[in-house]
Amino acid sequence: MSDFLPFALPLIGEDEINEVVDTLRSGWLTTGPKTAQFEKDFAEFVNAKHALAVNSATSGLHLALEAVGVGPGDVVITTTYTFTATAEVIRYLGADPILVDIDPKTFNMNPELLREALESHDNVKAIMPVHFAGQACDMDAILALAKEFDVKVVEDAAHALPTTYKGKVIGSLSDITVYSFYVTKTIATGEGGMIATENEDYLSRMKTMRLHGINRDVFDRYTSDKPSWFYEVVEPGYKYNMTDIAAALGIHQLKRACEFQQRREWMATQYNQAFSSLPLNTPYLARPEDTHAWHLYVLQLDLDSITVDRNRFIELMAEEKIGTSVHFIPLHLQPYWRDRYNYKQEDYPVALDVFNRAVSLPIYPKMTDEDVQNVIDAVVNVCAKVAK
């Protein structure tokens, strides 16, 4: 290979470009008709009653937790094996995250440990499962526990479009579901996210808080042919609205979501077949009949069978001109969370072990068949170099 293959790149087509140009020419760049169209299309896609576009999944999670009533002194249970945004939004509201360890096969929240956490805390307001890599959590178990303990469920579905759980698209199973359209995600608007809910009250609250706590959208106030300048600030809200420029991308990315997923799945299949005899474990599928979004493809190195650690493996992959990453550095190892809650490495042994062996490979629709083969060749070559 003469060129380095980046870990992730978006696939943007002429339809997206033309829609953005149309938006620029329209004169309406912030939240407006394109955003409304994207919300409508998205709600239909995930079979949800309502969808609300936001400027990031982080802001979406913040709005969702606020809408279900999370506040100072409350507890939200989530996983240690996630990006910091999942937990930081809990702190935004003055609440505390309670972390649970993960299932050693799926890397999703362990329902048995979730039950223990629910039984150990009286002030739990919500559960926030994370659909790791694009494979759905055990939602039957999570929803049953939420009902038993009378708590809300806000799904972090940043990886999970178009994931299904027992045939149902993630988006209408729980109280609120939040997606990410960050540049590396399964569909990309650069920055951006979407909230899906069945609940009218939650929708109304999040829509108000999305834009400074104002009870009318800017688009409604500035495009009417009658004077409509009046508005009321009913809460100290946030600035979390999506722009029409981002929505213009999203409208067409969404149309390609299933196509993108099929391409990612094909790549995952090629990897699985090529790596079956190597000193590593390929991703585990809990429900092969369901749709896995394949946002990530995470290897687990068999460290007992090779002569290097995970960090050196990544360096050797870079020498082969393949970009890789690690998903995730568990929250309990990060300085803020570790120091605030006095976590020790061994507090979450499964997440720690998974982290020490994890390598995420490139898996995105812009990759060519040759790129896929180059990734395979690099993994095979590195494994040959480091085998005991």
- Whole-number Å distance between alpha carbons of 89 and 70: 10
SS3 322: strand
Stated as kind and residue range, the H or E segment containing 64 is: helix 57-67
Domains of the chain with bracketed CATH: 14-255 (3.40.640.10), 257-386 (3.90.1150.10)
Render the burial of 116-154: b for 16+ CB within 10 Å, e for the rest.
ebbeeeeebbbbbbbbbbbbbbbbebbbebbeebebbbb
Cβ-proximal residues to 236 (8 Å cutoff; 6+ apart), any chain: 213
How many other β-carbons are positioned within 10 Å of the β-carbon of residue 26?
13
What was the pLDDT predicted at 219? Answer: 60
Q: What is the pTM of this model?
A: 0.97
Q: 279, 329, 271: which is closest to 301 by C-alpha? A: 279
pLDDT digits (tens, 9 = 90+) for 3-60: 999 999 999 999 999 999 999 999 999 999 999 999 999 999 999 999 999 999 999 9
What was the pLDDT predicted at 75? Answer: 98
What was the pLDDT predicted at 343? Answer: 98
Low-confidence stretches of the chain (pLDDT beneath 50) = none
- Whole-number Å distance between alpha carbons of 164 and 287: 10
Number of H helices and number of E strands within the chain?
Answer: 14, 12
The answer to whether the beta carbons of residues 361 and 299 sit under 8 Å apart is: yes
What was the pLDDT predicted at 216? Answer: 75
313: amino acid identity, one letter:
F
How many other β-carbons are positioned within 10 Å of the β-carbon of residue 218?
16
The answer to whether the beta carbons of residues 176 and 166 sit under 8 Å apart is: no
Stated as kind and residue range, the H or E segment containing 361 is: strand 358-361
257: amino acid identity, one letter:
A
Q: 335, 327, 330: which is closest to 350 by C-alpha? A: 330
- Whole-number Å distance between alpha carbons of 44 and 34: 16
- Sort residue 47 into left (φ over 0), alpha (ψ -120 to 50) or beta: left
What was the pLDDT predicted at 2? Answer: 67
What was the pLDDT predicted at 223? Answer: 59
Would you call 288 exposed, middle or buried from its count of C-beta atoms within 10 A (0-12, 13-18, 19+)? exposed
Annotated catalytic, 239?
no
What was the pLDDT predicted at 227? Answer: 65
The answer to whether the beta carbons of residues 163 and 291 sit under 8 Å apart is: yes
306: amino acid identity, one letter:
I
Of 185, 226, 239, 366, which one is the catalytic site residue?
185
- Report in angstroms the alpha-carbon separations of 365 from 327, 376, 381: 19, 16, 24
Give the pair of three-digit tokens for residue 114: 């979730």
Sole residue written with tokens 């990886």: 159
